[in-house]
A and B are shown apart, each in its own frame.
Chain A
Amino acid sequence: MNTDPIIWLTIFVLAIFVGIAVISKVSSTLHTPLMSGANAIHGVILVGAILVAGSAQSTPILILGLVAVILASINMVGGFVVTDRMLVMFSRPKRAIEKSGRRELDK
């Protein structure tokens, strides 16, 4: 099976550093959306859930696998949607100001 664990270890260690590097400069304003976004990303366990459910050989295992699929899709889809909802609110005030500015010009 895993012929060379060293390769997997290499990927793992490099990914740790990438993860730290990409978010090292983040303002506290964005802590909540960032956490929520990262939360959605680990919802990709859905791929794993599909794999095990798709190769299930018995009914109990299949049912268990389907439960995992449901849970993982809640995590992934819900995570991305709620993050987007938060971030829309950050961009909205700007648009509101532009709109009111335009209205004044119209007058």
Chain B
Amino acid sequence: MTPAWAQLGYLIAAVCFIVALKGLSSPKTARRGNLIGAAGALLACVIVFLASDIQHLLPILAAIAAGTAIGVLGAYRVQMTQMPQLVALFNGVGGGAAAIVAIIELTELSGGAAPVFDLIATAFTIVVGSVSFAGSVVTFLKLQELMTTRPVVFAGYPILYGLGLLAAVGFSVGLVLAPSLVFAVLLAVVGAGLGVLLVLPVGGADVPIVISLLNAFTGLTVAASGYLLENALLLVAGTLVGSAGTLLTRLMASAMGRSLINILFGALKGGSTLGATTLSDRPVKSAGPADVAILLAYAQRVIIIPGYGLAVAQAQHTLRQLVDLLQERGVQVDYAIHPVAGRMPGHMNVLLAEAQVPYEQLKEMDEIDPEFKQADVALVVGANDVVNPAAETTPGAPIYGMPILHANQARQVVFMKRSMRPGFAGIENELLYEPTTTLLFGDAKDTMSKLLAELKALTV
């Protein structure tokens, strides 16, 4: 039995987690909140060694050291552009850990007459933990573009999915009636299969929302294993993440104007293969850096729409110099930040903050969108889907319903693009063919430097 002082310590850790989540939801307190959460987690780990009878101390400490080294190395090495996939992986291994804990706990339960609730919690943890693990691996592959970012659906998908769900329920009942390792392993396999099936039909642009959903899933498995191990801290922490994560998933989805059902199963209705082969050779208007420099230099109001391509090319520092120069000339410049610019909500803010762009110049969509009508130039750098009018005009498009920035209302639109390749959602952008649109082809960093040089030449 856990001693009272340890239970009190766990209570303090639980409060730390609540304060951490509260802190993380406001920019001023976010960093402190995260550190308080880390302190709570550290406290909990110290308590478990002191309060419980832990054997195999050395191997366990070695395992913690190894995990810590991998985690820290991964967290420091990762490029900020690849951060969403890293979070997905961290989430996946957490789900995997929960599933393993439940399997081990089962080998201890299965000896005698185990309580039914415990067995149900075990089955739940194994299935959902495996869903989270396998699902996160697929989201990683999609975000890293190691597999197609387009929705994957195949004939018989709904049947396979239904069979998977039935099998999960069937094996769970089997595990409760006759606890054995066989059922546990079967459940883990079925769970992993369901996780893969869950993420496959999700289109690239929606993947971050699924990461958030899987995050909530992992939270619930941690809560269930807390019940199994009679550990109130795990129950509270897991439940907090489960409910906060579910709410966050809904908030993210509504920021994109999408429903969760549509994100998960929209591809099954068909229709989102749109644009797959319509890459056309219709005429576009392209220009050189010198022309665009003149366009920008003599504008009064410029709105910049940064996208993932900017960050990938590491051109955000050059862009900032360009903006500084334009402002010295008296041009009013702002950045229009779409909620899902980058790879997930808030990602672009992180990326631009890294380039030391002043926070005041970053305007959220609701604030900046009406101003496009007064803008002389909308400069789209490495973005595509967030200005694609198909979100409003083409009901079959995978991004249909997502709020967009109305760059098309500006007097001139300049696209800095590497090629005519479509955006992450894999659909073509009509805006590229508008008469007011000018394209500036090339690597974002390279082109941006040329643009900067031309602008300097004009200023002297």
Interface, chain A (partner B; CB < 8 A): 1-2, 5, 8, 11-12, 15-20, 22-56, 61-62, 64-94, 96-97
Give which listed residue, B31, B75, B107, B241, contacts A42 with CB less than 8 A: B241
Give which listed residue, A5, A43, A45, contacts B117 with CB less than 8 A: A5
13 further interface pairs, Cβ-Cβ under 8 Å (given A23-B24, A47-B44, A77-B75): A5-B117, A37-B20, A41-B20, A45-B234, A48-B229, A56-B55, A66-B60, A68-B97, A72-B94, A73-B68, A74-B68, A82-B74, A93-B356
Counting chain B CB atoms within 10 Å of each CB, which of A22, A41, A68, A83 scores highest?
Answer: A41
> How near does chain B come to A43, taking the closest CB pair, in angstroms?
6
Q: Is the CB of A39 within 8 A of B346?
A: no
Q: Tell me the bound Cα distance from A30 to B252 in angstroms.
A: 11
**Residue of chain B at shortest CB distance from A13:** B239
Interface status of B142 (Cβ within 8 A of chain A): no
Q: Is the CB of B98 within 8 A of A48?
A: yes
Q: Tell me the bound Cα distance from A4 to B279 in angstroms.
A: 63
Can you list the 5 inter-chain pairs with the closest CB atoms, starting with the nearest? A73-B67, A78-B71, A19-B243, A54-B54, A75-B94
A interface majority secondary structure: helix
Residues of chain B lying within 8 A (CB to CB) of residue A29: 27, 345-346, 349, 364
Q: Tell me the bound Cα distance from A46 to B115 in angstroms.
A: 24
| Selected interface stretch from B34-42, B287-295, B411-419 | B34-42
Residues of chain A lying within 8 A (CB to CB) of residue B347: 32
Q: Tell me the bound Cα distance from A19 to B90 in angstroms.
A: 21
**Residue of chain B at shortest CB distance from A87:** B31
Interface status of B198 (Cβ within 8 A of chain A): no
> How near does chain B come to A33, taking the closest CB pair, in angstroms?
6
Q: Tell me the bound Cα distance from A24 to B24 in angstroms.
A: 11
Q: Is the CB of B74 within 8 A of A78?
A: yes
Q: Is the CB of B248 within 8 A of A31?
A: yes
Q: Is the CB of B90 within 8 A of A91?
A: no
Q: Tell me the bound Cα distance from A12 to B372 in angstroms.
A: 48
Interface status of B56 (Cβ within 8 A of chain A): yes
Q: Is the CB of B247 within 8 A of A62?
A: no
> How near does chain B come to A91, taking the closest CB pair, in angstroms?
6
Residues of chain A lying within 8 A (CB to CB) of residue B354: 89, 92
**Residue of chain A at shortest CB distance from B114:** A1
Residues of chain A lying within 8 A (CB to CB) of residue B252: 28, 31
Residues of chain A lying within 8 A (CB to CB) of residue B191: none
Residues of chain A lying within 8 A (CB to CB) of residue B103: 64
Q: Is the CB of A31 within 8 A of B234?
A: no
What 0/1 readout, one digit per residue, does chain B (327-358) give for beta carbons within 8 Å of chain A? 00000000000010000111101100110111
Q: Tell me the bound Cα distance from A11 to B7 in angstroms.
A: 14
What 0/1 readout, one digit per residue, does chain B (215-235) give for beta carbons within 8 Å of chain A? 100110111011101111111
Give which listed residue, A28, A67, A86, contacts B350 with CB less than 8 A: A86
Given known pairs A1-B230, A49-B100, the reply for A73 and B71 (CB within 8 Å) is: yes
Q: Tell me the bound Cα distance from A24 to B98 in angstroms.
A: 27
Residues of chain A lying within 8 A (CB to CB) of residue B117: 2, 5
Residues of chain B lying within 8 A (CB to CB) of residue A96: 356
Q: Is the CB of A41 within 8 A of B21?
A: yes
Residues of chain B lying within 8 A (CB to CB) of residue A16: 239, 242-243
> How near does chain A come to B50, taking the closest CB pair, in angstroms?
12
Q: Is the CB of A62 within 8 A of B59?
A: yes
Give which listed residue, A18, A39, A72, contacts B240 with CB less than 8 A: A18
Q: Tell me the bound Cα distance from A40 to B33 in angstroms.
A: 12
Q: Tell me the bound Cα distance from A38 to B34 in angstroms.
A: 9
Give which listed residue, A19, A42, A71, contacts B96 with CB less than 8 A: A71
Interface status of B237 (Cβ within 8 A of chain A): yes
**Residue of chain A at shortest CB distance from B358:** A93
Residues of chain B lying within 8 A (CB to CB) of residue A35: 87, 211-212, 215, 245, 248, 344
Given known pairs A45-B222, A71-B96, the reply for A89 and B350 (CB within 8 Å) is: yes
> How near does chain A come to B333, taking the closest CB pair, in angstroms?
16
> How near does chain A come to B29, taking the closest CB pair, in angstroms?
10
Counting chain A CB atoms within 10 Å of each CB, which of B55, B57, B255 scores highest?
Answer: B55
Interface status of B63 (Cβ within 8 A of chain A): yes
Q: Is the CB of A82 within 8 A of B248?
A: no
| Selected interface stretch from B78-86, B257-265, B270-278, B390-398 | B78-86
Interface CB pairs A-B, < 8 A, 7: A30-B26, A39-B94, A54-B55, A72-B93, A73-B64, A77-B75, A92-B356
Counting chain A CB atoms within 10 Å of each CB, which of B235, B345, B346 scores highest?
Answer: B346
Q: Is the CB of A44 within 8 A of B358?
A: no
Residues of chain A lying within 8 A (CB to CB) of residue B232: 11
Within 8 A of A (CB), among B10-62: 13, 17-18, 20-22, 24-27, 30-31, 33-35, 37-38, 40-41, 44-45, 48-49, 52-57, 59-60
Interface status of B70 (Cβ within 8 A of chain A): yes
